[in-house]
């Protein structure tokens, strides 16, 4: 991973330039930032060679495995990566995220890790039904499965046991929260909350990638505090924090996303905040503190 132009100070790493990455590149240019774009599909990293010039890297690689190893390789070469490899590692794994949130004393749904599908059945009995089973590493709500009762759980575990990857057999199980028809997405950049939106969808999974709609709202002090604390707990400088409210209206942290997709959020908040510009501003501030 040897960028060709030593004069550039910033590097945007991605393999897919979506609307979000276009906004980020536009923001870099508006702010006059010297940057280079690197297609991560062409990147390779020599072990025995440090970077000629340290860069501040914005990691926008869409695939978790590639994002994680890119961050590790770039940090090993002496660059500063946002988000860090450690944060990408924690955020990319639901169990690690839950452990970090619990260690910070933040409220989360009751959760258990079954080391085999059989053990997960026992864990689900302890959690109680209805519950949710999620892949440890997954995105856009893929394979997140509602489990209303023991009979369904047994069938789901049979399917999980038949999956080829050993990691798939480790089961993340969580109580199903009787939430309103919405959840909350908060975006945090550099320890500041940029805003909060409600996400509503026809499906029970309220991912924007699954067609959920977004609507900005003024967060309570509890939600602000929780979103900031969740980003800090996983060490993410740029974080998409997902929260839900339980039947009593108490907010719980579900997960923290390191590769924040913000198109739906931006549509909802309109001119109130420019997420890409705030990320660019944060990177410039961070570069000053790292390199000057």
Partner 1 sequence: MPNCPGCEGSVALEENPRVNEIVECGECATELEIISVDPVELAIAPEVEEDWGE
Q: Give 53's DSSP letter.
A: S
- Which tokens in the block code for residue 160? 């999980």
Measured from the CB atom, is 22 or 52 closer to partner 1? 22
Work out how close the CB of 136 gets to partner 1 at its nearest, in angstroms, rounded to a whole number.
11
Measured from the CB atom, is 99 or 137 closer to partner 1? 137
Work out how close the CB of 256 gets to partner 1 at its nearest, in angstroms, rounded to a whole number.
10
Which among 130, 99, 93, 103 has a CA at the least distance from the CA of 112?
99
Alpha-carbon distance of 26 to 98, in angstroms, equals 35
Alpha-carbon distance of 262 to 163, in angstroms, equals 32
Q: What are the Cα distances from residue 241, in Å, to 31, 91, 101, 158, 251? A: 27, 10, 11, 32, 12
Alpha-carbon distance of 24 to 11, in angstroms, equals 11
Measured from the CB atom, is 124 or 183 closer to partner 1? 183
Measured from the CB atom, is 242 or 245 closer to partner 1? 242
- Which tokens in the block code for residue 200? 């509503």
Work out how close the CB of 67 gets to partner 1 at its nearest, in angstroms, rounded to a whole number.
9
Work out how close the CB of 280 gets to partner 1 at its nearest, in angstroms, rounded to a whole number.
16
Alpha-carbon distance of 124 to 115, in angstroms, equals 12
Q: First vs last Cα of the chain: how many Å apart?
A: 23
Work out how close the CB of 135 gets to partner 1 at its nearest, in angstroms, rounded to a whole number.
9
Which among 211, 201, 153 has a CA at the least distance from the CA of 179?
201
Work out how close the CB of 195 gets to partner 1 at its nearest, in angstroms, rounded to a whole number.
17
Provide the 10 A C-beta neighbour count for residue 19. Answer: 12
Bond from prior residue into 130 cis (ω within 30 degrees of 0): yes
Measured from the CB atom, is 123 or 193 closer to partner 1? 193
Measured from the CB atom, is 68 or 233 closer to partner 1? 68
Which among 147, 201, 198, 141 has a CA at the least distance from the CA of 174?
147
Work out how close the CB of 261 gets to partner 1 at its nearest, in angstroms, rounded to a whole number.
5
Interacting residues toward partner 1 by CB under 8 A: 14-18, 21-22, 25, 37, 39, 62-65, 92, 137-140, 142, 209, 240, 257-261
Measured from the CB atom, is 245 or 261 closer to partner 1? 261
Work out how close the CB of 64 gets to partner 1 at its nearest, in angstroms, rounded to a whole number.
4
Let me know: does 64 contact 137? Beta carbons within 8 Å: yes
Bond from prior residue into 114 cis (ω within 30 degrees of 0): no
Measured from the CB atom, is 17 or 176 closer to partner 1? 17
Radius of gyration of the chain (CA): 20
């Amino acid at each position: 991973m040897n960028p060709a132009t030593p004069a550039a100070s910033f590097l945007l790493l991605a393999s897919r330039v979506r609307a979000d990455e276009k906004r980020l590149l536009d923001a870099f240019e508006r702010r006059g930032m010297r940057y280079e774009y690197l297609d991560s599909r062409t990147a390779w990293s020599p072990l025995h060679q440090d970077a000629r010039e340290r860069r501040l890297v914005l990691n926008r690689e869409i695939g978790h495995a590639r994002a994680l190893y890119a961050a590790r390789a770039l940090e090993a070469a002496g660059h500063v990566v946002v988000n860090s490899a450690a944060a990408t590692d924690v955020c990319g794994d639901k169990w690690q995220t839950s452990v970090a949130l619990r260690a910070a004393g933040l409220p989360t749904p009751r959760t258990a890790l079954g080391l085999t599908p059989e053990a997960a059945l026992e864990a689900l009995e302890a959690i109680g039904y209805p519950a949710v089973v999620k892949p440890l590493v997954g995105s856009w709500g893929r394979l997140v499965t509602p489990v209303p009762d023991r009979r369904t759980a047994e069938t789901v575990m049979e399917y999980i046991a038949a999956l080829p990857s050993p990691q798939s057999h480790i089961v993340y199980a969580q109580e199903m929260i009787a939430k309103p028809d919405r959840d909350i997405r908060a975006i945090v950049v550099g320890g500041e909350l940029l805003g909060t939106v409600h996400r509503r969808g026809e499906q029970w999974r309220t991912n924007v990638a699954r067609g959920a709609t977004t609507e900005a709202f003024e967060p309570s002090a509890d939600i602000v505090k929780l979103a900031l604390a969740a980003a800090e707990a996983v060490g993410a400088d740029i974080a998409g924090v997902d929260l839900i409210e339980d039947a009593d209206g108490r907010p719980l942290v579900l997960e923290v996303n390191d590769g924040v997709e913000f198109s739906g959020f931006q549509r909802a908040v309109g001119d109130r905040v420019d997420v890409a510009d705030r990320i660019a501003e944060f990177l410039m501030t961070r570069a000053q503190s790292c390199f000057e």
